[in-house]
Amino acid sequence: MHPEAPSDTIIQALVDPALTLDRSLNVLDANAAARDVFGWVRLRQHVSHTSRHPELTAAVADAQRLRQRRTFVLDMRTPLDRRLEGIVTPLNVEARADDQAAFLISLRDLTEQERLASMRADFVANASHELRTPLASLKGFIETMQGPARTDVTAHARFLDIMSQQADRMTRLIDDLLSLSRIEMRAHIPPSATVDLNDIATSVVAALEPQAMLAGATVAVHRLQGRATVRGEHDELVQAIQNLVQNAIKYGRAGGRVDVRIGEESPAALRSISISDDGPGIAPEHLPRLTERFYRVSVASSRDRGGTGLGLAIVKHIVTRHRGTLAITSSVGRGATFKITLPAA
C-alpha cells in the first residue's frame, strides 16, 4: 500500500464493494468485494469496461456532470441473482489531478435484506391466516347462539365444546409463535450451560406418558452408557425433543412404538438423539420442506391432532442455535426417524 494514495487503503479496507475513479472516469482502484460483484475490474480503463450496467454508467455520468451524489440500483443475473444499491460520490473533483480519485462508487447488497423482508411478510400473512380460521369459527358459533339457536340448550353444550377447542388451538398457535420468536432472538448467542441428553430424554418421555397412553403407543428410551453431555440450553432442548416425541406419537401408528435413542457419533466429539416411529412415514418429496414454518403434509391431519405446523420449525431453530444438525429419514409405510446431532461438551 502506498502512503501517498490513502484512498486506496480505505477502499481495500471496506467490506462492501467499492471502486474509485479518476476525473476521466477510469477505474483507479477496486476492492475484492467489487471484483466479486463484477467478475473482473479493468484498472486504468473507463468504468464501462468494468460494468456495462446502464444504471451504473448513467449514475456515474450524472455525478460527473452535476457534481452531485447519485444513487442507482443494479439487478445482477450472473454469477448469482442479486440486487445491489449503489452510490456515486464526487470527491472534490476540481482539486483532483489525473491520477487521483475523483469519484467513489460504493455498493450495498440488498439481496439478503429483501429476502428477509419477504420472508417476514409471508410469515405474518401465514400466521394471520392460521389465527383467522379458528377466530371465524368462534364468531360463527357466537352468532348462531345469539340468533337461530338462542333457545336450543342442547346445541349450546355442543357449540361450547367446539368453541373451547378453537380457543385452545389459538392458544397453541400463539405459544408456538412466541417460542419461535424467543429462539430467534437468541439465535446468535451460543448456549453456555451443559446438559445430559440421557436425562432430558428420560424426563421428556415421562412427561409425555399420558399422551402415549391415550394413543396406545409404547415409548422406549435407550440411554447412552455413560454420560451424553452437550453444551446446551436445558429448556430449549427439552422443547425440541418434546416436539419430536410428540410428533412420533401423533403421526405414528395407533398402538405403535417410538424409540428414543441417545448415541455417540464419530467423530467422538458429537452426541446424537434420534426419535423413530413405526407409523406411515413421510413421502420423500415432503422431507426437504418439513422444517418450514406452517408446512404440513396434510393440513387436515395436522389440525385433527392439534398441530400448528410450527413444531419442526422450532426444532430446527433450536438445533441451529446449538450448532447442531437435524436429519430426517423416512420411507412410506416404514416410519420416520428424526435425528439431532450436537457437539459434545
Number of residues that bind ligand ADP (CB under 6 A): 21
What's 64-79 look like in SS3? HHHCCCEEEEEEECCC
The yes or no reply on residue 276 touching ligand ADP (CB under 6 A) is no
The yes or no reply on residue 336 touching ligand ADP (CB under 6 A) is yes
* Alpha-carbon radius of gyration of the chain: 29
Contacts (Cβ under 8 Å, ≥6 apart) of 186: 321
The yes or no reply on residue 308 touching ligand ADP (CB under 6 A) is yes
Q: Are 291 and 274 in contact (CB under 8 A)?
A: no
The yes or no reply on residue 134 touching ligand ADP (CB under 6 A) is no
Which backbone phi and psi does 151 adopt, to 5 degrees?
Answer: -105, 0
Q: 3-state DSSP call for residue 325?
A: strand
Angstrom distance (rounded) from CA 308 to CA 175: 10
Nearest distance from C-beta of residue 134 to ligand ADP, angstroms: 14
Nearest distance from C-beta of residue 46 to ligand ADP, angstroms: 55
Q: Which is nearer to ligand ADP, 87 or 297 (CB)?
A: 297
Interface residue with ligand ADP among 282, 326, 342, 344 (CB under 6 A) is 282
Interface residue with ligand ADP among 22, 130, 233, 277 (CB under 6 A) is 277
Q: In what order do the strands lie in the sheet with 336-343?
A: 218-222, 257-265, 270-277, 336-343, 325-330
The yes or no reply on residue 86 touching ligand ADP (CB under 6 A) is no
- CA 255-246-243 angle, 5° bins: 160
Q: Which three three-digit cell numbers place residue 12? A: 481495500
Region for 83 from its dihedrals, namely left if φ exceeds 0, alpha if ψ lies in -120 to 50, beta otherwise: beta
Pick from 116, 118, 117, 111: nearest CA to 17? 111
Q: Which is nearer to ligand ADP, 60 or 173 (CB)?
A: 173
The yes or no reply on residue 311 touching ligand ADP (CB under 6 A) is yes
Q: Which is nearer to ligand ADP, 162 or 297 (CB)?
A: 297
Nearest distance from C-beta of residue 279 to ligand ADP, angstroms: 5
Q: Which is nearer to ligand ADP, 41 or 319 (CB)?
A: 319
Identify the helix (H) or strand (E) that includes residue 229.
strand 229-231
Nearest distance from C-beta of residue 303 to ligand ADP, angstroms: 8
Query: Of 95-103, 181-189, 206-214, 276-284, which segment contacts ligand ADP by CB under 6 A?
Result: 276-284
The yes or no reply on residue 256 touching ligand ADP (CB under 6 A) is no
The yes or no reply on residue 302 touching ligand ADP (CB under 6 A) is yes
Angstrom distance (rounded) from CA 23 to CA 73: 23
Q: Which is nearer to ligand ADP, 53 or 293 (CB)?
A: 293
Q: 3-state DSSP call for residue 344?
A: strand
Q: Which of residues 190-249 bind ligand ADP (CB under 6 A)?
A: 243, 247-248
Interface residue with ligand ADP among 236, 279, 342, 344 (CB under 6 A) is 279
* Location of C-alpha cell 476492492: 31
Q: Are 37 and 50 in contact (CB under 8 A)?
A: no
Interface residue with ligand ADP among 290, 318, 340, 344 (CB under 6 A) is 290
Q: Which stretches of the chain bind ligand ADP, using CB under 6 A?
A: 243, 247-248, 251-252, 277, 279, 282, 290, 296-298, 302, 307-313, 336
